[in-house]
């Protein structure tokens, strides 16, 4: 279970890198000044940084095998998921109502739907796998 969680987390992170790169490349940071983007920068980078921190703690847990580290990773992942749901909730209206070729198109409008869906599903899978591993299921 521990390794399955690690693999799911890494694959989820790869999708997250794609999404972050597309948002930044689409002018997400520049759009903060104009108010075009609906993604607050602290939420975007908080989601990214806490996910990365949780992954590092998870890797340390795999090496050290200390239950407290597994639970720390889980708590971090819950916060990451809440931030991710916040971003997802702000992304849906933009995706549905903003034309992709509009002059003031928010950067998040250009996020690929399949990557957003896969990132969310894999994130949820990772959360469940980390919880199961922290509970000792499958060890």
Residue 35 has pLDDT above 90, yes or no: no
What percent helix, strand, coil does the chain show, rounded to 5?
A: 80, 0, 20
| Confidence at residue 85, expressed as pLDDT on a 0 to 100 scale | 97
Domain that holds residue 109: 2-135
Global pTM reads 0.92
Question: Within a 10 A sphere around the Cβ of 30, how many other Cβ atoms?
Answer: 12
Three-class secondary structure assignment of 26-75: CCCCHHHHHCCCCCCHHHHHHHHHHHHHHHHHHHHHHHHCCHHHHHHHHH
Total structural domains within the chain: 1
Tens digit of each residue's pLDDT (9 = 90 or more) over 73-114: 999 999 999 999 999 999 999 888 867 666 678 999 989 999
| pLDDT value for 33 | 84
């Amino acid at each position: 279970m521990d390794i399955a969680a690690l693999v799911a987390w890494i694959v989820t992170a790869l999708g997250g890198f794609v999404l972050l790169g597309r948002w930044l490349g689409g002018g997400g940071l520049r759009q903060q000044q104009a108010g075009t983007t609906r993604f607050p920068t602290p939420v975007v980078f908080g989601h990214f940084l806490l996910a990365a921190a949780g992954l590092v703690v998870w890797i340390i847990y795999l090496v050290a095998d200390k239950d407290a580290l597994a639970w720390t990773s889980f708590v971090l992942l819950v916060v990451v998921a809440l931030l991710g749901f916040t971003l997802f909730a702000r992304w849906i209206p933009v995706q549905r109502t903003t034309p992709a070729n509009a002059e003031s198109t928010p950067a998040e409008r250009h996020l690929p739907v399949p990557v957003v869906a896969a990132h969310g599903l894999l994130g949820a899978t990772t959360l469940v796998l980390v919880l199961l591993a922290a509970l000792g299921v499958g060890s």
